[in-house]
Amino acid sequence: QVQLVESGGGSVQAGGSLRLSCAASSDTSSFSCMAWFRQAPGKEREAVAGIFRGSGYTAYADSVKGRFTISRDAAKNTAFLQMDSLQFEDTAVYYCAARTSSCLGSYLLEKNRFDFWGQGTQVTVSS
């Protein structure tokens, strides 16, 4: 059973930075792509960024373009989310997700395309 574990969340002032990590508990050689989603209180879970495990192709939600960077270390089965210029509106629980079957670019920001999810890590940005 694959488990995804997020870390790196916390509290930061607006304009600050955080780096999230997502580690898989088993060999992720079958993962085709990974992504980050977030959910604020009272809101739907929304896409943040996604990445192809092999090529490293990425996709971002418009709200984070230019501020967030997704990356992966395929050898260490880990995905990262570097978050810079954080805003109050970025406050949410951030979830890591992974997909095992083939992945298309359009899938990277669609939560229903992912098979495995982490438990989430809280990010709080104070204004």
Across the range 95-112, mean pLDDT stands at: 95
The confidence score (pLDDT) of residue 25 equals 80
Over 70: is that where the pLDDT of 27 sits?
no
Mean pLDDT of the chain: 93
Count Cβ neighbours within 10 Å for each residue of 18-50 and write b for 16 or more, e otherwise.
bebbbbbeeebeebbbbbbbbeeeeeebebbbb
User: What are 75's two structure tokens?
Assistant: 């050898």
The confidence score (pLDDT) of residue 77 equals 75
The confidence score (pLDDT) of residue 74 equals 75
The confidence score (pLDDT) of residue 36 equals 98
